[in-house]
Amino acid sequence: MKNKFVWLIIIYEAKFWGIRGGNTLKVYETDAGKIGILICYDVEFPELPRLLAEQGMQILFVPFLTDTQNSYNRVRYCAQARAIENECFVAITGCIGNLPKVENMDIQYSQSAVFTPCDFSFPSNGIKSEATANTEMVLIADVDLSLLDELHAHGSVRNLKDRRTDFYELILKNQPSL
Where residue 91 sits, what CATH number does that domain have?
A: 3.60.110.10
**Across 21-44, average pLDDT:** 92
Per-residue pLDDT, 4: 47
| Residue 2 belongs to a domain | no
Lowest mean pLDDT among 71-75, 85-89, 124-128, 166-170: 166-170
Domain range for 145: 27-154
Stated length of the chain? 178
| Residue 124 belongs to a domain | yes
Q: 65 and 36 in contact (C-beta within 8 Å)? A: no
Cα–chain center distance at 176: 22
| Residue 58 belongs to a domain | yes
| Residue 166 belongs to a domain | no
Whether the CA torsion 25, 58, 158, 85 is positive or negative: it is negative
Per-residue pLDDT, 39: 92
- Number of structural domains found in the chain: 1
| Residue 49 belongs to a domain | yes
| Residue 20 belongs to a domain | no
Q: pTM here?
A: 0.87
| Residue 85 belongs to a domain | yes
DSSP-H helix ranges across the chain: 2-17, 47-54, 69-85, 146-154
The angle subtended at Cα 127 by Cα 65 and Cα 68, nearest 5°, is 25
C-alpha span between 9 and 34 (Å, rounded): 30
Lowest mean pLDDT among 17-21, 69-73, 100-104: 17-21
Q: Is the pLDDT of residue 23 over 90?
A: no
Kind and range of the H or E run holding 29: strand 28-30
| Residue 109 belongs to a domain | yes
**Across 3-14, average pLDDT:** 52
